A = this chain, B = another copy of it.
Amino acid sequence: MTFDLPRRLVAEILGSAILVATVVGSGIMADRLSGDAAVSLLGNTIPTGAILMVLISIFGPISGAHFNPVVTLVFAARREMQVATSFGYILAQIAGGLAGTAIAHAMFDLPILQVSGTARTGAGQWIAEMVATFGLVLTILCGLRFRRDTIPWLVGLYITAAYWFTASTSFANPAVAIARSLTDTFSGIRAVDLPGFIAAEIAGALLAAVFAGWLLSGRDNGISSAAAEGAE
């Protein structure tokens, strides 16, 4: 089943918009309601993981459900996608993300246009973003290879975990990062901190693509693989 480019781009725009509206909107809701920052992060994490499972399920068959420039970049680098199309995808993701922030603000009666003042910078944050994106791309590439129909669950679960185990709460997505620079709420990030995040995300994604290329090219070399049979 295949869809034409306009529909694929619309799926990327709308999926990215709903994803960002969820990240930003649930952050606002959680922050308003709670006096405990970990409860707020739970209230931000659970909706984000859940909506990813939904969005990848419903838009995956149309556009592939990238919603993320570095994911598109990896598919382009693997020659599984034309360069021209990948540019279209990335623009769609950024535009969708910006719309998502605006929708969240409109729902919560906040100014549509905002500038974030939340500093997110330093070596720890950059390492965290690199780790987060490495894991995300590895999850996608291995998942596509071994358990294609579970990809929506795997990506949602991965991000659920990564919100907590990375010091940056795992943006792992340049389009989402850009969109989050335009909200001065729980999930915001200063525009000046974007380059560090985006560079780390690209590095993590490319590293994962190279690593997965090696890992998944493996075949039996004659040594018994009983363990692989034994526990999965």
Query: Which B residues lie within 8 Å of A10 (CB)?
Result: 215
B85 lies within 8 A of A109 (CB): no
B109 lies within 8 A of A2 (CB): no
A157 lies within 8 A of B41 (CB): no
A146 lies within 8 A of B58 (CB): yes
A144 lies within 8 A of B225 (CB): no
A161 lies within 8 A of B26 (CB): yes
Question: A119 at interface (Cβ–Cβ under 8 A)?
Answer: no
Query: Which B residues lie within 8 Å of A85 (CB)?
Result: 223-224, 226-227
Interface size of A by CB at 8 A reads: 115
Question: A87 at interface (Cβ–Cβ under 8 A)?
Answer: no
Identify which of B61, B123, B157 contacts A232 (C-beta below 8 A).
B61
Query: Which B residues lie within 8 Å of A91 (CB)?
Result: none
Name the residue among A22, A146, A229, A232 with the largest chain B CB count within 10 angstroms. A232
CB distance from A78 to the nearest CB of B (A): 8
B165 lies within 8 A of A26 (CB): yes
Question: A16 at interface (Cβ–Cβ under 8 A)?
Answer: no
Question: A111 at interface (Cβ–Cβ under 8 A)?
Answer: no
Question: A69 at interface (Cβ–Cβ under 8 A)?
Answer: no
Closest to A156 in B: B157
Q: A38-B30, A66-B231, A154-B58 are in contact. Are A124 and B109 (CB under 8 A)?
A: yes
